[in-house]
């Protein structure tokens, strides 16, 4: 079994050839039908580096398959370009949005990107131009390692006018005046679409520090607002997952747009009110409450979630402050008051303009 282009490269034999269908998942039941028969699946290069191997391995037991990797497209591309792979970012975007690149785009970045087909090269050029990195040079590499191999270095303009053949990957030498996102937590507020309901940058940085994401953890972001906390949570590590729960439909849609724009399309967005909307969700390792705080919600979380689940809650109103003060007195944890002031015009001079203080409670349930 394999894609038509792989099967076309085989020498003549008496073996039965089965073309792997599109979408890829449709081929798994066909492959399962060959259980007990000697079967070979053809895939490009290293099947466990943005390849088919991991998907097949999940569906079949360890004793049912053997992988024989070849040269990966990334290794071939790096060898052609002379780029050290340890200093080059690698992306498999055959079935993922181009916005996955956004957190990493910065002048000087070298990245090798696998794309689904030739038309995606033009889409990539448009995306780089739209994000302000229009001076990027593209190294378009077609059919690497095969008899049709072709490599061309070009500008975005040339890429927009060009025609490209599958399989294709692109080596990006990123340049331009686009905004590079900081690697630290507390991303600029301006990168998020918001109606004003957003955890501001300094408080967000302190909140992420309190949430303390660890590899593989899942977050509930209750009262998502703009989604900035759960989006930044996901940006800390690709192994992290998150669900944002938002009672207002317009804000839930805004969270979705923000997540997609920041390359965090894996964020799950739930339109609903806590705790009712939480009952069918996978249990979290960490919970953040940014809106909708109440004693009833805290009671539900404490009675429902496993012992040791970490909770961070931010309060701005006097009523929600009182709730946190009461729960801190009863259940312990850390209670922090965050007071910030920013210099602003005061007549012909300057003075400090204070923001509303935020009370933050961190605890293990």
Closest CA to 165 of 186, 185, 146, 192: 146
Pairing of β 268-271 and β 334-338: unpaired
User: Is the pLDDT confidence value at 154 over 90?
Assistant: yes
Give the residue from 13, 31, 64 where a domain finishes: 64
Residue 25's domain spans which residues? 4-64
pLDDT attached to residue 147: 87
pLDDT attached to residue 211: 97
pLDDT attached to residue 14: 81
Q: How far apart are CA 263 and CA 260, in angstroms?
A: 5
Scanning the structure block, which residue is given the tokens 């490009």? 44
> Residue 307 is part of a domain; what is its CATH number?
3.40.50.150
The shares of helix, strand and coil residues in the chain, as percent rounded to the nearest 5, are: 35, 20, 45
The percentage of the chain sitting over the pLDDT mark of 70, rounded to a whole number, equals 100
pLDDT attached to residue 6: 84
Closest CA to 204 of 297, 319, 310, 340: 340
Q: How far apart are CA 315 and CA 200, in angstroms?
A: 13
- Least-confidence region, from 15-29, 105-119, 313-327: 15-29
* Residue 258 near residue 192 (C-beta atoms within 8 A): yes
Average pLDDT estimate for 138-152: 94
| pLDDT band at residue 23 using 50, 70 and 90 as cut-offs | confident
The percentage of the chain sitting over the pLDDT mark of 90, rounded to a whole number, equals 85
Same-domain pairing of 242 and 154: no
Q: Helix (H, G, I), strand (E, B), or coil: what is residue 143?
A: coil
| pLDDT band at residue 131 using 50, 70 and 90 as cut-offs | very high
Same-domain pairing of 226 and 110: no
Same-domain pairing of 245 and 327: yes
Same-domain pairing of 24 and 98: no
pLDDT attached to residue 66: 92
Average pLDDT estimate for 13-33: 90
Give the residue from 112, 143, 173 where a domain finishes: 173
pLDDT attached to residue 24: 87
* Residue 299 near residue 233 (C-beta atoms within 8 A): no
pLDDT attached to residue 12: 79
Average pLDDT estimate for 141-146: 92
Average pLDDT estimate for 189-210: 94
Q: What is the pLDDT of residues 211-247, one digit of tens each?
A: 999 999 999 999 999 999 999 999 999 999 999 999 9
User: Is the pLDDT confidence value at 32 over 90?
Assistant: yes
Q: How far apart are CA 263 and CA 105, in angstroms?
A: 11
pLDDT attached to residue 138: 98
Closest CA to 168 of 278, 288, 322, 5: 5
User: Residue 35's CB: how many other CB atoms inside 10 A?
Assistant: 9
| pLDDT band at residue 50 using 50, 70 and 90 as cut-offs | confident
Residue 108 lies in a domain: yes
pLDDT attached to residue 307: 95
- Asked if omega into 23 is within 30° of 0 (cis), the reply is yes
Q: How far apart are CA 89 and CA 78, in angstroms?
A: 11
Q: What is the pLDDT of residues 272-306, one digit of tens each?
A: 999 999 999 999 999 999 999 999 999 999 999 99
Same-domain pairing of 231 and 159: no
Average pLDDT estimate for 351-357: 92
Q: Name the average pLDDT for the chain.
A: 94
Residue 124 lies in a domain: yes
pLDDT attached to residue 5: 82
Same-domain pairing of 213 and 250: yes
Same-domain pairing of 230 and 286: yes
pLDDT attached to residue 197: 87
Same-domain pairing of 196 and 307: yes
Alpha helices in 133-225, H assignment, sequence order: 156-161, 201-211
Average pLDDT estimate for 42-71: 88
Number of domains in the chain: 3
User: Is the pLDDT confidence value at 363 over 90?
Assistant: yes
pLDDT attached to residue 10: 85
Residue 184 lies in a domain: no
Same-domain pairing of 38 and 81: no
Same-domain pairing of 331 and 292: yes
Residue 180 lies in a domain: no
Same-domain pairing of 306 and 356: yes
Q: How far apart are CA 217 and CA 25, in angstroms?
A: 27
Residue 183 lies in a domain: no
pLDDT attached to residue 320: 95
Q: How far apart are CA 112 and CA 73, in angstroms?
A: 9
User: Is the pLDDT confidence value at 160 over 90?
Assistant: yes
């Amino acid at each position: 079994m394999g894609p038509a282009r792989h099967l076309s490269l085989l020498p003549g034999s008496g073996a039965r050839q089965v073309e792997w269908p599109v979408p890829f998942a449709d081929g798994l039941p066909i492959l399962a039908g060959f259980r007990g028969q000697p079967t070979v699946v053809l895939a490009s290069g290293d099947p466990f580096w943005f390849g088919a191997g991991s998907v097949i391995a999940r569906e079949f037991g360890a004793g049912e398959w053997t992988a024989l990797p070849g040269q990966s497209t990334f290794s071939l591309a790096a060898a052609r370009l002379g780029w050290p792979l340890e200093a080059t970012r690698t992306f498999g975007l055959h079935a993922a949005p181009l916005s996955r690149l956004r957190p990493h785009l910065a002048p000087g970045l070298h990245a090798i990107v696998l794309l689904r087909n030739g038309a995606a090269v033009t889409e990539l050029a448009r995306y780089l131009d739209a994000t302000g990195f229009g001076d990027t040079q593209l190294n378009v590499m077609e059919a690497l390692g095969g008899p049709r191999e072709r490599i061309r270095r070009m500008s975005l303009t040339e890429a927009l006018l060009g025609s490209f053949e599958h399989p294709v990957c692109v080596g990006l030498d990123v340049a331009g005046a686009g905004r590079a996102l900081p690697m630290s937590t507390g991303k600029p507020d301006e990168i998020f679409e918001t109606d004003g309901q957003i955890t501001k940058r300094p408080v967000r940085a302190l909140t992420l520090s309190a949430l303390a994401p660890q590899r593989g953890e899942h977050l509930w972001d209750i009262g998502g607002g703009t989604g900035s906390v759960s989006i930044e949570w996901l940006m800390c590590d690709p192994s992290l997952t998150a669900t944002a729960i938002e009672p207002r439909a317009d804000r839930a849609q805004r969270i979705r747009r923000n997540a997609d724009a920041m390359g965090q399309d894996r964020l799950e967005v739930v339109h609903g009110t806590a705790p009712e909307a939480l009952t069918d969700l996978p249990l979290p390792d960490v919970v953040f409450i940014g809106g909708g705080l109440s004693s009833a919600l805290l009671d539900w979380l404490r009675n429902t979630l496993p012992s040791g689940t970490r909770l961070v809650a931010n309060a701005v109103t006097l009523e929600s402050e009182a709730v946190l003060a009461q729960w801190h007195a009863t259940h312990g944890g850390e209670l922090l008051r965050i007071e910030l002031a920013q210099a602003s015009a005061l007549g012909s001079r300057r003075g400090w303009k204070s923001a509303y203080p935020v009370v933050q409670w961190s605890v293990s349930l």
